[in-house]
Amino acid sequence: MEDDQQQLDERTRSLNAPSPVPQFGPCGRIMKNSAMVMTIQDPASQRLTWYKAPMTVLVIKKIRDASVLQPFVQLVRWLIEEKRMVVFVEQSVMEDTLLQNNSEFSHVQEKLMTFRDGKDDLTDKIDFIICLGGDGTLLYASLLFQQSVPPVMAFHLGSLGFLTPFEFDNFQEQVTNVLEGHAALTLRSRLRCIIVRKNEQNSKKPPTNLLVLNEVVVDRGPSPYLSNIDLFLDGKHITSVQGDGLIVSTPTGSTAYAVAAGASMIHPSVPAIMVTPICPHSLSFRPIVVPAGVELKISVSPDSRNTSWVSFDGRNRQELFHGDSLTVTTSEEAKASRRAVGSDPLEFQRHAGFVRTSRQLARFTGLEDRRTKRTFGFCRSSTWWR
Nearest to 327 by CA among 295, 350, 353, 356: 295
263 SS3 class: coil
Report the alpha-carbon distance of residue 162 to residue 177 in Å, rounded: 21
| Positive or negative: CA dihedral 102, 133, 179, 169 | positive
Confidence of residue 282 (pLDDT cuts 50, 70, 90): confident
Residue 109 pLDDT more than 50?
yes
Which residue would you say has higher pLDDT here, 358 or 79? 79
Q: Is 25 left (phi over 0), alpha (psi -120 to 50) or beta?
A: left
How far out from the chain centre does Cα 187 lie?
A: 11
The whole-number average pLDDT for the span 42-66 is 85
pLDDT, residue 202, reads 66
Q: Residue 74 — very low, low, confident or very high, per pLDDT cuts 50/70/90?
A: very high
Residue 135 is a catalytic residue? yes
Q: Chain-centre distance of CA 256, in angstroms? A: 11
pLDDT bracket for residue 119 (50, 70, 90): confident
% pLDDT > 70, the chain: 78
**CATH 3.40.50.970 is held by the domain 193-330:** no
List of long-range contacts for 141-144, beta carbons under 8 Å, 24+ apart:
141/58, 141/60, 142/190, 142/211, 142/212, 142/213, 142/313, 142/335, 143/210, 143/211, 143/212, 143/213, 143/312, 143/313, 143/315, 144/58, 144/60, 144/117
Judge whether residue 222 has pLDDT over 60.
yes
pTM of the entire predicted model? 0.79
The pLDDT value given to residue 337? 87
For residue 325, the model assigns a pLDDT of 96
Question: In the predicted model, is pLDDT for residue 134 greater than 70?
Answer: yes
| Confidence grade of residue 194 (pLDDT, cut at 50, 70, 90) | very high
Q: With beta carbons less than 8 A apart as the criterion, state whether 22 and 177 touch.
A: no
**pLDDT score of 147:** 86
- Predicted local confidence at residue 249, as pLDDT: 98
pLDDT of residue 250: 96
Catalytic hit among 96, 127, 135, 219: 135
Average confidence score pLDDT of the chain? 81
Q: How confident is the model at residue 384 (pLDDT cuts 50, 70, 90)?
A: very low
pLDDT score recorded for residue 375: 32
H-run or E-run covering 317: strand 315-320
In terms of pLDDT, which residue wins out, 361 or 291? 291
**Is the pLDDT reported for residue 318 higher than 70?**
yes
In this prediction, what percent of the chain has a pLDDT beyond 90? 49
Q: Is the pLDDT of residue 196 over 90?
A: yes
Length of the chain as a residue count: 386
Superfamily of domain 23-32+46-188: Probable inorganic polyphosphate/atp-NAD kinase; domain 1 (3.40.50.10330)
Mean pLDDT of all residues in 328-356: 64
In the chain, DSSP finds a helix count (H) and a strand count (E) of: 9, 24
Is the model's pLDDT at 24 over the cut of 50?
Answer: yes
Is residue 164 predicted with pLDDT exceeding 70?
yes
Quick one: pLDDT at residue 234? 95
Q: Which residue has the higher pLDDT, 36 or 266?
A: 266
pLDDT at 358: 46
- The pLDDT assigned to 8 comes to 38
Domain chopping of the chain, boundaries: 23-32+46-188, 193-330, 349-386
Q: Is 80 exceeded by the pLDDT of residue 213?
A: yes
